[in-house]
Amino acid sequence: LQVKDLLLEESIPVLYEEIHALPEHTWSDVNESFKMPFLLTDAGLKVGIGGGGTSIDRQRNLPFFAGTAAAYGLDRETALAMITRNNAEILGVADRVGTLEVGKDATLIVSTGDALDMRTSNVIWAFIQGREIDLYGTQQELFERYQERYSNRRD
């Protein structure tokens, strides 16, 4: 937030990637990273939420990062926009992705639960450029293999 005035003056958007990080300083609020998307948006900046670098395992958690932002001040629509429309605009690809509109790539997920809540989200379909993606993979295979073995265990 120390450079927010410069960012506003120059119309520079922020792609925030540290929402699940620990505070940078010992004197910082322990929830600082969770609140930052709200604080940046409240300051008038355009904000997107990123997963950090090229880490694929973090990219799949973008909806949950947005859910964290919603739990710490943002309304859910704004949090969702931070992983869809805002990211597309910041990255210069909003003509193709970021919103569901005629003429754009149909790149989206469909969840039976709340896509921003890791407790209820269950992605049942995924599409990239209008083509359905097979969601069955190693994670699902391992779940099925060990589900019966461990579901009957008594702790």
83-115 tens-digit pLDDT: 999 999 999 999 999 999 999 999 999 999 999
d(CA 91, CA 50): 11
- Token output for 146: 């060990």
Are the beta carbons of 144 and 151 closer than 8 angstroms? no
Tell me, what amino acid is at 145?
R
**Residue 24 in this model has a pLDDT that exceeds 90:** no
Lowest mean pLDDT among 13-17, 25-29, 38-42, 79-83: 25-29
Domain boundaries along the sequence of the chain: 4-151
Percent of the chain with pLDDT over 70: 94
Q: How many CA atoms lie within 13 A of 72 on its CB side?
A: 21
pLDDT at 131 over 90: yes
Longest alpha-carbon distance in the chain: 60
Which structure tokens are listed for 110? 């469909």
- Across the strands, what pairs with 125? 110
Count CB-CB contacts under 10 A for residue 16: 21
Residue pLDDT, tens place only, 51-91: 876 667 778 899 999 999 999 999 999 999 999 999 999 99
Residue with tokens 């790539």: 105
**What pTM does this model have?**
0.85
In the chain, DSSP assigns E strands to 14-16, 47-49, 108-111, 123-128, 131-132
pLDDT given at position 147: 87
